[in-house]
């Protein structure tokens, strides 16, 4: 009797497992992916309210190369370019390089670039900012005996740091909108 009971018990437990899997799959059919910040709204074309607010930010024209780098990253990251902006972002950025170490010959072999960006977010027509902060990021690069290679490495490191600064600003702005500012 134990010879026939074992396959029968195995078949019942297998059916129970498949049944549980089927019930679980059926329960998950109602799940969906939704935005992290805010609810989707038909009025915003299915985008979250936060995403719509972020895309309604006009970023002031840059005054230097570093501000341009951060602005470009923000422009693409925020989805800016709305024909009727509701917010204005005042942005200023600066960068500086620093030597981290000196090789045996006296030549610098490791350097770092620091990008600092300060921003203020205004509702268009308002004088008081609704969000403001200063964000700092660094990126390192290797220095060699070739002048062009060093200049190119500096430019690339500055672009990496500007990209990091822009991502932090995007997150801070999204948090400000999600908090209802």
Beta-carbon count within 10 A of 87 CB: 23
Average pLDDT over residues 122-127: 91
Mean pLDDT of the chain, nearest integer: 81
Determine the CATH number of domain 48-178: 3.30.160.150
Please, which residues bridge with residue 138 across strands? 114
pLDDT given for residue 30 in this prediction: 59
pLDDT given for residue 12 in this prediction: 63
In tens, the pLDDT along 2-60 reads: 555 566 565 566 676 666 676 666 565 655 555 554 544 445 455 578 888 888 999 99
108 within 8 A of 102, measured Cβ to Cβ: yes
In tens, the pLDDT along 49-89 reads: 888 888 899 999 999 999 999 999 999 888 866 678 899 99
Q: Tell me which residue of 64, 60, 80, 90 sits closest to 162, measured CA to CA.
A: 64
User: How far is Cα 117 from Cα 39, in angstroms, rounded to an integer?
Assistant: 30
Q: Where are the domains of the chain?
A: 48-178
**Alpha-carbon separation of residue 167 from 45, 52, 70, 133, 136 (angstroms):** 24, 17, 9, 13, 11
Would you say residue 1 has pLDDT above 80? no
């Amino acid at each position: 009797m134990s010879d026939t009971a074992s396959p029968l018990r195995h078949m019942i437990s297998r059916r129970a497992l498949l049944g549980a899997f089927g019930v679980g799959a059926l329960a998950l059919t109602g799940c969906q992916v939704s935005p992290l910040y805010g609810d989707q709204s038909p009025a915003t074309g299915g985008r979250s309210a936060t995403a719509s607010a972020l895309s309604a930010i006009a970023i002031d024209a840059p005054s230097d190369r570093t501000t341009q780098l951060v602005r470009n990253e923000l422009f693409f990251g925020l989805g800016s370019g709305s024909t009727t902006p509701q917010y204005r972002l005042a942005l200023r950025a600066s960068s500086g390089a620093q030597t981290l170490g000196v090789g045996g010959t006296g030549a610098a072999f490791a350097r770092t670039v620091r990008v600092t960006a300060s921003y203020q977010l205004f509702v268009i027509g308002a004088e008081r900012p609704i969000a403001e902060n200063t964000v700092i990021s660094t990126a390192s690069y290797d220095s060699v005996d070739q002048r062009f290679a060093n200049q190119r490495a500096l430019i690339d490191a500055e672009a990496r740091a500007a990209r990091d600064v822009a991502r932090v600003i995007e997150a801070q702005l999204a948090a400000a909108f999600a908090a209802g500012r």
